[in-house]
């Protein structure tokens, strides 16, 4: 369903009027109104502004006509009203994926690879539009939005290639008249549930390997950022992904989730999101004993040793902390600094943080956009109040940004300690707490003192120390002297309560494959 431009303008004006009534200033937003409209207009022209669910190769409304508003977190503009579906439509999507499974799975790997490659090319050809759309619905700076398109598309390219490398095994038999084989086969229909913080990459990281090995998928993107998912589905359709192989439903999260979990046709659930929801899904998946992959929350430590190259450490920590306004699962949550360089690091890091320009992600030079919702800002405030009440010092920032109620100042807290909420819980915002430590053993103990185990970072010039610490950290990912480490060619995933399974790399495709053992016996001599 195309959204008429006149309706977009009307709903935007009404929404802005409502905002002013409740005291939220919007003069700055009005100035940017045209550029958002221009972006949406361009997306519409190219058929990439979709608002319906995508089921069995068709764009469909919710059966009861319900819609869900999607807002720009920087301006509170209404971007679109999308179909808000529930259990019934999800069942249809599962049926369509189930019906499409056989014919998709028996294509040759080369045939599936060709379609995925085409999808990759289309995603890259529409990099600008997709990057802008992501900035509109998620708020991340445009440079990060464009970066995510490249990152998201890289999984499609990688698995287009990997599709051709799903090898089985031949096992030397224990008896002479037997031959033993291992086949790798697609699991079947996959339910993929994704969050708002990477509206494209979290989807392609699941869908690309699933499709590559012959599975079909029902995707449920976050209600906060469904537009990028729908645009990606439109491009998959244009690339030749057959009807039913990829379906997208958004709306009532628990109804959609419950329906996916209850269905015996769905053989696998792949979820990225919070640990709380992940645990619920894992428990519910037991009902039909589904395969499960979970990419959950983190509490990433970043250890800066006395001998670290300070320039590298400041740059790496800044990138690992403030990317996407601190709203990534691999964002640093605790910065542990050895006492010998604590003061120097705190000073250099604080200066760098002060220079981060905050604003609407569409503006040139902006390095930190808004948080996704006002609730996210309130969580940040709660963490800061708690830390300050327990002795932390505000070195930089510490309050809502004057740009509006979803913006928060990049913040640095000194003298953080383990009694603070921020030492245990993901802040998921632009707050960097500095903790002091004395010895390597103490740093490892503090770093591992959490139920999470996703990303960790360390900065040192001592190679032996780097290896010792990397091996001792109870985390799925370790960055040594580097703050941005995600790539499609390396396995991504957590240990402990940060999840199970891996995405990306040659390991990522295993999550969508069953291993079948075939024994050929009684062979004639
Ligand atoms: P979330 O609240 O858990 O939501 C994630 C997805 O689950 C959304 O699509 C959400 O739908 C859906 N959902 C919520 N309740 C559900 C239910 N009962 N049944 C089925 N689906 C349900 O997480 P979030 O706030 O969007 O994302 C932030 C979290 O994700 C952070 O903890 C972050 O660390 C984690 N994350 C982890 C990784 C990783 O790779 N490990 C990557 C990115 C993010 P609606 O949005 O429509 O409600």
Among residues 299, 298, 248, 305, the alpha carbon closest in space to that of 272 is found at: 298
Label residue 273 left, alpha or beta by phi (over 0 means left) and psi (-120 to 50 means alpha). Answer: left
Record the tokens describing residue 45, joined without a space.
Answer: 């022209």
Among residues 287, 213, 220, the alpha carbon closest in space to that of 247 is found at: 220
- Is there an atom of ligand 1 within 6 Å of 193 CB? yes
Residue 507: CB atoms within 10 A of its CB come to 15
Record the tokens describing residue 301, joined without a space.
Answer: 């430590």
- Is there an atom of ligand 1 within 6 Å of 223 CB? yes
CA of residue 272 to ligand 1 center, whole Å: 6
Compute the distance between CA of residue 332 and CA of residue 317 in angstroms, rounded to an integer: 7
User: Which residues are CB-contacts of 277 (< 8 A; sequence separation ≥ 6)?
Assistant: 271
Choose one of 204, 273, 294, 452 to mutate for the ligand 1 pocket test, by most ligand atoms within 8 angstroms of C-beta: 273
Compute the distance between CA of residue 213 and CA of residue 163 in angstroms, rounded to an integer: 6
- Is there an atom of ligand 1 within 6 Å of 257 CB? yes
| Annotated catalytic residue 37 | no
Cβ atoms 434, 412 nearer than 8 A: yes
Q: How far apart are the first and last CA of the chain?
A: 66
Apex CA 393: angle with CA 388 and CA 395, to 5°? Answer: 125
3-state SS, residue 181: strand
Nearest CA to ligand 1 atom 11: 222
pLDDT at 316: 98
pLDDT at 305: 98
Cβ atoms 97, 247 nearer than 8 A: yes
Name the phi and psi angles at 2, rounded to 5. Answer: -75, 145
Compute the distance between CA of residue 400 and CA of residue 397 in angstroms, rounded to an integer: 9
Among residues 502, 485, 498, 483, the alpha carbon closest in space to that of 453 is found at: 498
Compute the distance between CA of residue 418 and CA of residue 437 in angstroms, rounded to an integer: 12
The maximal CA–CA distance of the chain, rounded, in angstroms, is 88
The catalytic residue among 92, 137, 148, 295 is 295
Nearest CA to ligand 1 atom 10: 222
pLDDT at 35: 81
DSSP β-ladder status, 179-186 and 513-520: antiparallel
Per-run averaged pLDDT (10 residues), the chain, 525 residues: 41 44 42 73 97 98 98 97 98 98 98 98 98 98 98 98 98 98 98 98 98 98 98 98 98 98 98 98 98 98 98 98 98 98 98 98 96 98 98 98 97 98 98 98 98 98 98 98 98 98 98 98 95
- Is there an atom of ligand 1 within 6 Å of 280 CB? yes
User: Which DSSP letter does residue 463 get?
Assistant: H
- Is there an atom of ligand 1 within 6 Å of 453 CB? no
Among residues 504, 518, 517, 513, the alpha carbon closest in space to that of 188 is found at: 513
- The DSSP annotation for 383-440 comes to HHHHHHHTT-EEEE--SB-TT-TT-B--EEEEEE-TTSGGGTS---SSEEEEEEE-SH
Among residues 59, 50, 112, the alpha carbon closest in space to that of 81 is found at: 50
- Is there an atom of ligand 1 within 6 Å of 224 CB? yes
CA of residue 382 to ligand 1 center, whole Å: 21
- Is there an atom of ligand 1 within 6 Å of 366 CB? no
Nearest CA to ligand 1 atom 30: 273
- Is there an atom of ligand 1 within 6 Å of 298 CB? yes
- Is there an atom of ligand 1 within 6 Å of 24 CB? no
Choose one of 255, 274, 376, 488 to mutate for the ligand 1 pocket test, by most ligand atoms within 8 angstroms of C-beta: 274
Compute the distance between CA of residue 369 and CA of residue 363 in angstroms, rounded to an integer: 10
CA of residue 82 to ligand 1 center, whole Å: 19
Compute the distance between CA of residue 266 and CA of residue 190 in angstroms, rounded to an integer: 6
| Annotated catalytic residue 329 | yes
Among residues 16, 211, 27, the alpha carbon closest in space to that of 119 is found at: 211
pLDDT at 478: 98
pLDDT at 335: 98
Compute the distance between CA of residue 476 and CA of residue 486 in angstroms, rounded to an integer: 12
Nearest CA to ligand 1 atom 22: 253
Compute the distance between CA of residue 433 and CA of residue 259 in angstroms, rounded to an integer: 41
CA of residue 194 to ligand 1 center, whole Å: 6
pLDDT at 115: 98
The catalytic residue among 84, 215, 329, 331 is 329
Signed CA dihedral, 428, 432, 435, 439: sign only: positive
Name the phi and psi angles at 105, rounded to 5. Answer: -70, -25
Compute the distance between CA of residue 211 and CA of residue 281 in angstroms, rounded to an integer: 22
Compute the distance between CA of residue 230 and CA of residue 250 in angstroms, rounded to an integer: 10
Choose one of 269, 277, 498 to mutate for the ligand 1 pocket test, by most ligand atoms within 8 angstroms of C-beta: 277
């Amino acid at each position: 369903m195309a959204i008429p431009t006149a309706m977009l303008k009307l709903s935007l004006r009404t929404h802005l009027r409502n905002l002013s009534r409740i005291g939220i200033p919007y003069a700055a937003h009005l100035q940017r109104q045209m550029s958002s409209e221009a972006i949406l207009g361009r997306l519409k022209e190219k058929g990439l502004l979709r608002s319906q669910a995508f089921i069995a190769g068709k764009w469909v409304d919710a059966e009861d006509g319900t819609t869900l508003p999607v807002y720009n977190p920087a301006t509170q503009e209404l971007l679109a009203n999308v179909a808000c579906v529930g259990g019934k439509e999800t069942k249809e999507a599962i049926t369509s994926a189930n019906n499409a499974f056989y014919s998709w799975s028996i294509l040759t790997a080369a045939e599936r690879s060709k379609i995925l490659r085409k999808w990759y090319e289309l995603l890259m050809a529409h990099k600008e539009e997709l990057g802008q759309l992501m900035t509109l619905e998620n708020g991340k700076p445009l440079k990060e939005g464009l970066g995510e398109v490249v990152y998201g598309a890289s999984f499609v390219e990688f698995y287009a290639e990997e599709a051709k490398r799903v090898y089985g095994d031949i096992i030397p038999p224990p008896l002479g008249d037997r031959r033993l084989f291992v086949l790798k086969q697609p699991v079947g229909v996959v339910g993929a549930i994704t969050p708002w913080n990477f509206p494209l990459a979290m989807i392609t990281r699941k869908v690309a390997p699933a499709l590559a090995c012959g599975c079909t998928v029902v995707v449920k993107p976050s209600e906060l950022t469904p537009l990028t998912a729908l645009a990606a589905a439109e491009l998959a359709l244009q690339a030749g992904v057959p009807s039913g192989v990829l379906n997208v439903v958004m709306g009532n999260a628990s109804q959609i989730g419950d329906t996916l979990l209850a269905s015996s046709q769905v053989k696998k659930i792949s979820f990225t999101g919070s640990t709380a929801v992940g645990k619920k899904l894992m428990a519910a998946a037991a009902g039909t004993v589904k395969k499960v992959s979970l990419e959950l929350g983190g509490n990433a430590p970043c250890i800066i040793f006395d001998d670290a190259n300070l320039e590298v450490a400041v740059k790496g920590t800044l990138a690992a902390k403030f990317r996407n306004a601190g709203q990534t699962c691999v964002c640093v949550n605790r910065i542990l600094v050895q006492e010998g360089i604590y003061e120097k690091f705190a000073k250099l890091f604080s200066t760098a943080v002060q220079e981060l320009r905050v604003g609407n992600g569409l503006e040139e030079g902006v390095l930190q956009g808004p948080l996704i919702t006002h609730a996210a800002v309130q969580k940040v405030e709660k963490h800061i109040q708690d830390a300050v009440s327990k002795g932390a010092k505000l070195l930089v920032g510490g309050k809502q940004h004057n740009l509006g109620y979803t913006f928060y100042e990049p913040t640095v807290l000194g003298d953080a300690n383990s009694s603070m909420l921020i030492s245990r819980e993901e802040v998921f915002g632009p707050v960097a707490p500095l903790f002091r430590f004395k010895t390597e053993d103490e740093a490892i103990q503090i770093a591992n003192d959490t139920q999470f185990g996703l990303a960790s970072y360390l900065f040192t010039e001592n190679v032996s120390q780097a290896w010792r610490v990397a091996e001792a950290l109870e985390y799925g990912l370790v960055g040594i002297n580097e703050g941005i480490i995600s790539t499609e060619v390396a396995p991504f995933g957590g240990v402990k309560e940060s999840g199970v399974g891996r995405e990306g790399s040659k390991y990522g495709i295993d999550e969508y494959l069953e291993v079948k053992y075939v024994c050929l016996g009684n062979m004639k001599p």
